[in-house]
Amino acid sequence: MSSETENPPKHIAIIMDGNGRWAKSRNLPRWKGHEAGAESVREVIDACIEANVQYLTLYAFSTENWNRPKPEVTALMKLLEKFLVSHTSDLQKNNVKLQAIGRLKDLTQGPMNALSKTISETKNNTKLNLILALSYGSREEIVDAVNNIIKLTKEGNLDNTELTTSSFEKHLYTSNIPDPDLLIRTSGEMRISNFLLWQISYSEIFISEKLWPDFNKNDLFEAIDSYNKRDRRYGEV
């Protein structure tokens, strides 16, 4: 595949699964799998730029991940901070704008500071919108949207009229982000895992058997080629 793809998906979302199994198969600690997975993130960002994808959302840390063993959670937070600090210059060079969705207030201080700094420094970039889903859960997102609507209505800041799908989605974390055209999940698992449940209603789905640390640029291009061969009907004939 070349960067001359006629109709690349505007927005790709990825469930990056398999870091732990990758590490276990090599008799390595789980954090080594997450570290290797960070390199796949870098490669996929480059591939999306080459393919002229406009939005890339990565499921980096779920609300459920907080229930993992404390040493693993700590390692993940440190890896997130390290990734942001070490890759901000690359994001700038490649004209990538960083955004984040989720219950970000739950992040520890180091990663939160690094995230805020990178978001601020890349806010004017225009080539690719990179969205990290952090402390993210789709059910939690929908509940947060409902609670925000209730709050605004009680305060008199929202008309007490019947909701529509269009008016409701304005209260989601992704209110200014188009729905994904293509959802990729690695490691062969056939689950959505509480990821963008509202937004992927009509997304095409591509399952890769590869574990995330083994997923590379060519695998992303394969997913895009598969997407381009499909007929998206959105429920119509």
Residues with catalytic function:
17, 65
Asked if 177 contacts 13 with a C-beta cutoff of 8 angstroms, the reply is: no
Reduced to 3 states (helix: H, G, I; strand: E, B; else coil), residue 136 is strand
Q: Which residues are bridge partners to 183 per DSSP?
A: 13, 205
∠ CA 17-19-24, nearest 5°, is 130
Q: Which two tokens stand for residue 90?
A: 């690359």
* Angle (deg, nearest 10), helices 30-50 and 70-93: 20
Asked if 17 contacts 185 with a C-beta cutoff of 8 angstroms, the reply is: yes
For residue 169, give the nearest of 131, 138, 126, 136 by alpha carbon: 138
Q: Residue 209, Cβ neighbours under 10 Å: how many?
A: 12
| Consecutive H or E run containing 7 | none
Asked if 134 contacts 100 with a C-beta cutoff of 8 angstroms, the reply is: yes
Residue found under tokens 């393919």: 51
